Amino acid sequence: MSLKLVLDQILNGFVLGSMYALFASGLTLIWGTMKMLNFAHGEYYMLGGYVVYFALTLFGFPPLLSILIGVAGVFLVGLATERLIIHPLLDKPGWEVSPIVATLGVSIFLQNFALKAWGERYKNVPYFIEGTLDVFGLRIAYQRLLVLIIAIIVIYAFWLFIKKTRFGMALRATAQDREAAMLIGINFHRVYMITFGISSALAALSAAMLAPIFLINPWMGLPSLLKAFVVAVLGGLGSVEGAILAGIVLGLAESFAVIIFSSEWKDIFSFAILILVLTTRPSGFFGTKEW
């Protein structure tokens, strides 16, 4: 195993991990705020991939604009899902299971919609930027660097938004005590809707960034969703910091699994880590909590 290979895989680990972090942050955000699991999260990821693909290939928009369209479009789909499907279930008996059933329904619908509308053939998204950077004998594709840089910027902006802005604080207040939040004038229906939108937008962004590396297809959401559950649970459901840390850890672990064993072992590795961590720390790195 050469040093070059190790460095290469560390970088890959960070690239993949940063996308896991983005994607799982959305899942954990919804759990932290609304105490529900969104089984359609993977389909927002899938939709994000398709929108970017069409924006790039069909309309010939530049990459940055295509990503923006993808993220904004899926943000709106997220808002609509909350208002039309989750909102009517809120505070009704059966809230423990009803969102699971409902979002599973959304997931099945979106998958089949994608299949019907866009076909079963896998779509190949071109790299946003060509070329490689050569440092210390390593050849790093600009595309991968771009993924990493955007992930860092977005994660930092997201963290600032949650911690410092008026709406971010209102979101945390609602997560921690909804009734007390209402008593200071916070409209939790609005908070929930926007939370759903942000969560979907994060899924779409990770898909947009990974689209040139993987392929777009109607079923791409499910494996990502499983991975996002691993990351979110590993970090502690509801903890955004946990999801970010766990995303990176998992990304690195998978990359090393690829060198030591082979790429088929990647998932076995990540689920083994999950089982191992849960037996010692049942509530993940940061513990299940409201942030």
Q: Is 176 an interacting residue with respect to other proteins (CB under 8 A)?
A: yes
Task: State in angstroms the smallest separation of the CB of 184 from other proteins.
Answer: 5
- The size of the interface with other proteins (CB under 8 A), counted in residues, is 20
**Looking at 58, 135, 184, 275, which residue binds other proteins (CB under 8 A)?**
184
User: How far is the CA of 137 from the CAs of 2, 3, 20, 130, 207, in angstroms?
Assistant: 12, 10, 28, 19, 30
Nearer to other proteins, 155 or 240 (CB): 240
Q: Is 192 an interacting residue with respect to other proteins (CB under 8 A)?
A: no
Nearer to other proteins, 37 or 169 (CB): 169
Q: Is 169 an interacting residue with respect to other proteins (CB under 8 A)?
A: yes
Nearest to 25 by CA among 234, 181, 278: 234
The residue behind tokens 């190949």 is 124
Nearer to other proteins, 267 or 290 (CB): 290
**Looking at 77, 173, 237, 249, which residue binds other proteins (CB under 8 A)?**
173
CB atoms < 10 A from the CB of 152, how many? 13
> Where in 54-113 is the site for other proteins (CB under 8 A)?
none
Q: What tokens appear for 277 in the block? A: 């961590």
Q: Is 179 an interacting residue with respect to other proteins (CB under 8 A)?
A: yes
Instruction: Please list, in sequence order, all residues whose beta carbon lies within 8 angstroms of the beta carbon of residue 269, skipping any fewer than 6 positions away.
Output: 253, 254, 257, 261
Nearer to other proteins, 142 or 161 (CB): 161
Nearest to 226 by CA among 267, 277, 262, 281: 267
In angstroms, the CA 22 to CA 121 distance is 27
Yes or no: say if 251 and 244 are a contact pair by the CB < 8 Å rule: no
Binding piece for other proteins, criterion CB under 8 A, among 62-70, 118-126, 169-177, 223-231: 169-177
In angstroms, the CA 271 to CA 276 distance is 9
In angstroms, the CA 10 to CA 51 distance is 30
Q: Is residue 285 helix, strand or coil?
A: coil
Identify residue 195 by its one-letter amino acid code: T
Q: Is 19 an interacting residue with respect to other proteins (CB under 8 A)?
A: no
**Looking at 53, 69, 73, 172, which residue binds other proteins (CB under 8 A)?**
172
User: What backbone phi and psi angles, to 5 degrees, belong to 136?
Assistant: 45, 40
Yes or no: say if 175 and 291 are a contact pair by the CB < 8 Å rule: yes
The residue behind tokens 């705020």 is 33
Q: Is 288 an interacting residue with respect to other proteins (CB under 8 A)?
A: no
**Looking at 112, 124, 187, 263, which residue binds other proteins (CB under 8 A)?**
187
Q: What tokens appear for 244 in the block? A: 């970010």
> Where in 128-167 is the site for other proteins (CB under 8 A)?
166
Nearer to other proteins, 91 or 130 (CB): 91
Helix 221-235 vs helix 41-57: angle between axes, to the nearest 10 degrees?
Answer: 130
Q: Is 6 an interacting residue with respect to other proteins (CB under 8 A)?
A: no
Binding piece for other proteins, criterion CB under 8 A, among 3-11, 65-73, 111-119, 168-176: 168-176
Q: Is 290 an interacting residue with respect to other proteins (CB under 8 A)?
A: yes
**Looking at 182, 260, 268, 272, which residue binds other proteins (CB under 8 A)?**
182
Task: State in angstroms the smallest separation of the CB of 289 from other proteins.
Answer: 7
Interface residues toward other proteins, by CB under 8 A = 166, 169-170, 172-173, 176-177, 179-188, 289-291
